[in-house]
Amino acid sequence: MARKKKIIQENTTETKGVLILALGHPYYGRMAAQLAMSIKSNTPEINISVVKTANSLNHCNADYLKYFDNIIDCPKEYYTNNKGFEEFIKAKIYLYELTPYDKTIYLDADIIWLQNKDRKSTRLNS
């Protein structure tokens, strides 16, 4: 029996973006904003969303917040354990629920994005 080939149509309305978690201390909000700035300086058209807790963006003024396309509140049950203690790493298992995009790149807030436009310059000479 011959198998039928599946026809896959390209979805042109598919959304793509970067998701950053800024949970807990306001320093993570500030790091997420700095990461968003470094991404937007290299790729201004990319969508960036930040997931936050109550006070995590307190160190960010409007100049920092403008780099985020979406600001999403993280539900408390996504980062608390069954004893009620905060475990922010737990939120990573809910990335699919938190992201507003069809295709998502998740990045930790404590990194910086550098785009290398000249690949030849990074090769080591033998």
pLDDT in tens, 24-81: 999 999 999 999 999 998 889 999 999 999 999 999 999 999 999 999 999 999 999 9
Q: What angle do CA 20, 117, 44 make, to 5 degrees?
A: 45
Question: What pLDDT score was predicted for residue 119?
Answer: 53
| pTM of structure | 0.80
Q: How far apart are CA 48 and CA 99, in angstroms?
A: 10
Grade residue 3 by pLDDT with cuts at 50, 70 and 90: low
CA separation (Å) from 64 to 36, 50, 59, 74, 126?
Answer: 9, 12, 9, 19, 43
Question: What pLDDT score was predicted for residue 45?
Answer: 95
Mean pLDDT across the chain, nearest whole number? 87
Grade residue 115 by pLDDT with cuts at 50, 70 and 90: confident
By percentage, how much of the chain surpasses pLDDT 90? 75
Higher pLDDT, 114 or 3: 114
- Using an 8 Å Cβ cutoff, are 25 and 52 in contact? no
